[in-house]
Amino acid sequence: MLNIRYEKTTAPKELPAADNPLKFGTIFTDHMFLMDYEEGKGWHDARIVPYGPISLEPSAMVFHYGQEMFEGLKAYKTEDGRTLLFRPNKNAERANNSNKRLCIPTIPEEDFAQAVKAMVKMDERWIPTKPGTSLYIRPFVIATDPFLGVRPSNRYLFAVILSPVGAYYPEGLNPVKIWIEDEYVRAIKGGIGEAKTGGNYVASLASQVKAHEEGYSQVLWLDGKERKYIEEVGAMNIFFKINGKVLTPELNGSILPGVTRDSVISLCKHWNVPVEERRISVEELYEAGKDGSLEEVFGTGTAAVISPVGHLRFEDHVLMVGDGGIGEFSQKIYDTITGIQLGKVEDTLGWTVE
């Protein structure tokens, strides 16, 4: 149990206006959680202080070798005024899996959860209430040792910041266009693909820029070795419904194990819908598109929960999914998960934490 020191802001900010679209990741709340790590002392000095710049030496290791980890989850306000987190224990667990891969000291899961809960409670007035809105929570750790040699840092900073975010799809689910990347790769087995760390995202930028220029909203990554098998999207895992079966690439070491992915698989099992985690090739996908057995494609992630895919492109081949509209199954999954998050659908799987 952390002994958190509180320093409340003396200048609370004005909340965003009711008509503010709350563009993702642009507005930050009044406070931030900070905690230091030093070799010998362990994690210490947990504190909630006014949100603001942090001071680091230019030699801090994170600036040079990218030793850092981050997480992303959300808090929701229910109609009856309760505040719910969605499966925060999964994020605490994934944070430590990332930490281990990145040689960052782990954070006890209960301390991670306590830090998140204390911050949400502190800045609760910032949780937006319009349909589809939420409070995005960004925990992260950075290496702070002022040292230019390549080795794991001896000092770290763990921080939690909060950002009110608008509805991903203000007008209801809207199918996206996906570019299947055949030039760059995001991650390879044995690399850092399954860790949530900046390096994976900087590796994706060139491809993302190219896809945007071509009019595509996100990139679908293939395996780094054979460039044949489907891995995941920029910030989402990917699912296919083929011949009544739900398919998603198996976790092979280079894919981020999404919390939403795990939730979709659990719901399928709960509903007795056949679901398979296995290797899926682009060829299999295009064959299913050709013979009419490809029913739905959707991405899963904290930001949008479910993103139906209406159109994919691989090299010069365009694949339209169904009639380009919203699949029945995608809609059902979306309604169920968002319903649980907002306390409107019974949480039979015990996913929310008040």
Q: Interface with ligand PMP by CB under 6 A: which residues?
A: 72, 232, 235-237, 256, 258-261, 300-302
Write down the least CB distance from residue 156 to ligand PMP, Å.
21
Longest CA–CA separation in the chain, Å: 64
Residues constituting the chain: 354
Q: What is the DSSP letter of 251?
A: -
CA angle 289, 207, 24 (to 5 degrees): 95
Nearer to ligand PMP, 138 or 279 (CB): 138
Write down the least CB distance from residue 38 to ligand PMP, Å.
29
Write down the least CB distance from residue 256 to ligand PMP, Å.
4
Nearer to ligand PMP, 62 or 265 (CB): 265
For CA atoms 149, 96, 133, 326, give the dihedral sign.
Answer: positive
Nearer to ligand PMP, 49 or 188 (CB): 188
Nearer to ligand PMP, 64 or 101 (CB): 101
Write down the least CB distance from residue 17 to ligand PMP, Å.
28
Strands 155-165 vs 134-143: parallel, antiparallel or unpaired: antiparallel
Q: What is the DSSP string of 198-230?
A: HHHHHTTHHHHHHHHHTT-SEEEEE-TTTS-BE
Strands 83-86 vs 352-353: parallel, antiparallel or unpaired: antiparallel
Q: What's the Rg (C-alpha) of the chain?
A: 21
In the complex, residue closest to ligand PMP by CB: 258
Nearer to ligand PMP, 35 or 256 (CB): 256
Neighbours of 307 (CB within 10 A): 26
Nearest Cα residue to 314 out of 227, 247, 234: 227
Write down the least CB distance from residue 260 to ligand PMP, Å.
3
Nearer to ligand PMP, 60 or 305 (CB): 305
Write down the least CB distance from residue 292 to ligand PMP, Å.
29
